[in-house]
Each structure stands twice: as structure tokens, then as C-alpha cells.
């Protein structure tokens, strides 16, 4: 068991994130990258735009990451022993593309209440200031939810380009990770990321999020998987784990889940973005 240490718990409480945490080897990370790139090659477009969500439903290796016991031990330290997975996102920044993530709070649009949940950002490639790693506004999770401007701006990897203005960027902390490490962040911490200025891809596989079984989806429907413990509340439909890579039926389930997610992400918006 590798629960978070008291120092790590303190970091999460004070800063709204804990990082870095070692999960798997660089070799394993490369294997996972190869599986992602095989899907991209065999099924062009499958992981693009709204297809970037829930790739763990069609990829046995991403499923393995999602249910990794080291990750779950750390998550259990923060949200308790009954843990559900309610979705994943691939945040890929290719070199020479203008991808960035505006500063935002996840809890603003995701519909998961109460905030007994945490997001795990797992580095499939190294992630650093040069290739656009996440940057956290330390301590911002202690404030209420902030106003977000909906920018729908080019290159923004968020659905609506939702942006918290006046973030003191020079004070934000870069979460530098090696492939195989992860960070955990709080639903209300303000965070974003810059352009990838390197000549390789930056790939983050994000479990967004691990929720306690007491958490509801108040904006729509979310299928979940039981990751650990018991689901005492049964607020959500349960979805299965992948049978094999790119299984036909699993592809349909992924599509259905992602259609539901679109309803959640664009609830109340008259405009739709790319994701
Ligand atoms: O991958 C990134 O740069 C941003 C990811 C993010 O905003 C998140 O995981 O909540």
C-alpha cells in the first residue's frame, strides 16, 4: 500500500495538488504511448476532438492505468475507500500546434457534487515547462468558484475556452513530471498550461475524475466503473471494462458516454467548441 505521506497530504491541503508521484516505469509509459498511437493509426479521428474522452474504455493499457493500485492508494488517501472512475481525458499537445489550456477550475463545469473527487494527471511522456506542463495557482482551491469567461479561442484545449482572468502566472507552479509519474489536483485549484515548444508530443492521460461513491452528476449522466471499495449509493450506471483493444462493442459504449459528456460540458451554452 502506498498511501500519501503526511507531507503529501499537507501539500494537497495547502496547495491544492500533490506532485510528483511515481506510478510506473518509463518503459511502461512507452508501451502505453505505442497503444495510443496504434489506435490513432488504425482508427484515424477516434481519439480526436470529443473522441479524446474515455479512451480507457477501448484500450486495455489505459484501463490498466485507470485501475492501477498505486494510483488508487493515493486517491483513497484523499477521497476515502469507495472510489468510482467517472471518465478519462487524453490531453495531447503535438509539436507545432497551438494547443494550450486556459486557467480554469475543473469544478466549474463538470457537474460533480459534492467535491469529494480528485483528478489524476498521468504523464505518458515527460511533461515540463518547455513542452507545456500543467501550472497550478497554489492555494487557489481554498477560494470559492470563480467567474470564468467563455472564450472559445483557437488552440484552447478546453471545451468552451473557459478562463479565469487575472491569474498571477509568474506565481504559478509548473508540475514537472517524468513519463510514468502523476500529479493529483483538487476540483477547485486554478490551473492551465502553455504551448508545447518541443519537437515531440506531450501526452497526459487524465483520470477526470476519481469520485467518491457519494458524488452525484448534477448536469447529466455519467457512466462509472467501480475502482475500489463499494458503491453504496448507486447514483450512476455502471460500465464494463474493455474486452480487447478497439473492441466493436466497447467503441459503441465510448461513443455513447462521450455523447452524454457533450450534454454536460455544453449545458446552458448556445455555442459548441471543438471538444
Ligand atoms: O493537460 C493539460 O495541460 C491540462 C489538463 C487539465 O486541465 C486537467 O487535467 O484538469
Q: What is the largest CA-CA distance in the chain?
A: 47
Tell me, letter by letter, the H, E, C secondary structure of 16-43. Answer: CEEEEEECCCHHHHHHHHHHHHHHHHHC
pLDDT digits (tens, 9 = 90+) for 121-179: 999 999 999 999 999 999 999 999 999 998 899 899 998 889 999 999 999 999 999 99
Q: How far is the CA of 229 from the centre of ligand 1 (A)?
A: 27
Q: Would you say the C-alpha torsion 252, 221, 61, 230 has a positive or negative sign?
A: negative
> Which parts of the chain sit beneath pLDDT 50?
none
Q: Which of 16, 19, 91 to mutate to test the pocket of ligand 1 (most atoms within 8 A of CB)?
A: 91
Q: Whose CA is nearest to atom 2 of ligand 1?
A: 134
Task: Give the per-residue pLDDT at 274.
Answer: 82
Tell me how far the alpha carbon of residue 193 lies from the centroid of ligand 1, in angstroms: 7
134 lines ligand 1 (CB under 6 A): yes
Q: Which helix (H) or strand (E) holds 150?
A: strand 149-150
Domains in the chain with CATH codes? 6-265 (2.60.120.620)
Which residue has cell 458503491?
231
Q: Are strands 134-137 and 173-174 parallel, antiparallel or unpaired?
A: antiparallel
Q: Ligand 1 centre from 134 Cα, in Å?
A: 6
pLDDT value for 47: 97
What pLDDT, on a 0 to 100 scale, did the predictor assign at position 33?
98
* Atom of ligand 1 at shortest range from CA of 132: 3
pLDDT recorded at residue 190: 98
* All three cell numbers of 164: 479565469
For ligand 1, atom 10, the nearest C-alpha belongs to 106
* Nearest-angstrom CA–CA distance, 70 and 22: 9
Return the half-sphere exposure (C-beta side, CA atoms, 13 A cut-off) of residue 72.
Answer: 19
Ligand 1 centroid to Cα of residue 261, in Å, is 17
DSSP 152: -
Sequence-ordered alpha helix ranges (H) in the chain: 6-15, 26-42, 60-66, 69-79, 248-265
Would you say the CB of residue 121 lies under 6 angstroms from ligand 1?
yes
CA distance 141 to 254: 31
Q: Are strands 181-185 and 117-123 parallel, antiparallel or unpaired?
A: antiparallel
Answer whether 190's CB lies under 8 Å from 143's CB.
no
> Residue 90's pLDDT is what?
98
Q: Is 206 in the pocket of ligand 1 (CB under 6 A)?
A: yes
Q: Burial-class residue 41 by CB neighbours within 10 Å (0-12, 13-18, 19+).
A: exposed
CA atoms within 13 A on the CB side of 258: 24
Q: How far apart are CA 196 and CA 178, in angstroms?
A: 15
Alpha-carbon span 170 to 215, nearest angstrom? 34
* Cβ count near 106 (within 10 Å): 22
Point out the ligand 1 atom lying closest to the alpha carbon of residue 121: 9
Q: Is the CB of 167 under 6 A from ligand 1?
A: no
Q: What ligand 1 atom has the least distance to the C-alpha of 104?
A: 7
**From the CA of 106, how far away is ligand 1's center (Å)?**
9
Residue whose entry in the numeric block shows the C-alpha cell 493529483:
184
**Cis ω on the peptide bond leading into residue 120 (within 30° of 0)?**
no
Q: Determine if ligand 1 sits within 6 Å of the CB of residue 16.
A: no
Report the share of the chain in percent with pLDDT over 70: 100
Q: Which atom of ligand 1 is nearest to the CA of 106?
A: 10
Amino acid at each position: 500500500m502506498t498511501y500519501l505521506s503526511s507531507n503529501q497530504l499537507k501539500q494537497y491541503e495547502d496547495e491544492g495538488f500533490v506532485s510528483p508521484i511515481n506510478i510506473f516505469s518509463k518503459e511502461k509509459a512507452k508501451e502505453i504511448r505505442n497503444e495510443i498511437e496504434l489506435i490513432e493509426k488504425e482508427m484515424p479521428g477516434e481519439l480526436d476532438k470529443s473522441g479524446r474522452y474515455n479512451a480507457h474504455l477501448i484500450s486495455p493499457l489505459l484501463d490498466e492505468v485507470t485501475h492501477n493500485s498505486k494510483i488508487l492508494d493515493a486517491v483513497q488517501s484523499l477521497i476515502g475507500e469507495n472510489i468510482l472512475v467517472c471518465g478519462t481525458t487524453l490531453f495531447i499537445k503535438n509539436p507545432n500546434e497551438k494547443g494550450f489550456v486556459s486557467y480554469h477550475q475543473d469544478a466549474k463545469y463538470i457537474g460533480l457534487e459534492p467535491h469529494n473527487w480528485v483528478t489524476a494527471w498521468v504523464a505518458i511522456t515527460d511533461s515540463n515547462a518547455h513542452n507545456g506542463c500543467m501550472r497550478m495557482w497554489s492555494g487557489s482551491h481554498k477560494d470559492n468558484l470563480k467567474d470564468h469567461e467563455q472564450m472559445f479561442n483557437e488552440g484552447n484545449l478546453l471545451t468552451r475556452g473557459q478562463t479565469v482572468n487575472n491569474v498571477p502566472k509568474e506565481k504559478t507552479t509548473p508540475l514537472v513530471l517524468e513519463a510514468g509519474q502523476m500529479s493529483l489536483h483538487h476540483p477547485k485549484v486554478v490551473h492551465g498550461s502553455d504551448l508545447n515548444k518541443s519537437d515531440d508530443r506531450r501526452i497526459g492521460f487524465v483520470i477526470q475524475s476519481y469520485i467518491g461513491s457519494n458524488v452525484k452528476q448534477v448536469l447529466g449522466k455519467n457512466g462509472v466503473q467501480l475502482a475500489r471499495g463499494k458503491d453504496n449509493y448507486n447514483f450512476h450506471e455502471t460500465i464494463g471494462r474493455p474486452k480487447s483493444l478497439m473492441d466493436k462493442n466497447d467503441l459503441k459504449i465510448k461513443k455513447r458516454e462521450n455523447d452524454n459528456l457533450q450534454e454536460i460540458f455544453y449545458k446552458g451554452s448556445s455555442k459548441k467548441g471543438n471538444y
